[in-house]
């Protein structure tokens, strides 16, 4: 089920308490970052396409909360979602993409999972037996 606007935001807040903390951190970063402040101003002035929305002190891109790619929140989101399940690149990406967006997120997620010591230790070897 795909929600838009306020209904989508409500669903994000209902999911879990830790995510609410993430959103509060994102709001603080929007307030502190000159780059995000500039993006907010462009959205509010109608200079960005309709994929971009500023609502409830959060920046959204295609109904997903926008994070700056160099923000420490990216790692916080990655660890919170991946480290609880260790599901691999595709499932981690699907779970994160439901609610968040940042430029080059596929590469960031792939690199994070590749560096995960738990995943590397428990990774199934997909090689045929020799002989």
19-39 per-position pLDDT tens digit: 567 788 888 888 888 888 999
Domain boundaries, the chain: 5-122
Supply the DSSP symbol for 130. P
Neighbours of 118 (CB within 10 A): 10
* Residue 104 to residue 101: CA distance in whole angstroms: 9
Beta strands in the chain (DSSP E): 52-55, 58-61, 64-66, 100-101
In the CATH scheme, what architecture does the domain 5-122 have? Orthogonal Bundle (1.10)
Residues 63-97: tens digit of each pLDDT = 999 998 888 889 888 988 888 888 889 999 999 99
pTM over 0.85: no
């Amino acid at each position: 089920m795909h929600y838009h606007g306020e209904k989508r935001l409500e669903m994000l807040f209902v999911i879990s308490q830790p995510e609410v903390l993430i959103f509060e951190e994102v709001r603080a970063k929007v307030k502190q970052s000159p780059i995000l402040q500039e993006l907010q101003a462009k959205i509010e002035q109608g200079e960005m396409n309709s994929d971009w929305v500023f609502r409830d002190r959060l920046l959204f891109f295609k109904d997903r909360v926008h994070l700056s790619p160099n923000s420490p929140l990216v790692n916080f989101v990655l660890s919170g979602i991946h480290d609880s399940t260790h599901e691999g690149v595709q499932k981690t990406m699907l779970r994160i993409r439901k609610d968040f967006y940042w430029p080059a997120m596929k590469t960031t997620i792939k690199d994070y999972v590749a560096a995960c010591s738990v995943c590397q230790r428990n990774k199934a070897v997909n090689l045929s037996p020799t002989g």
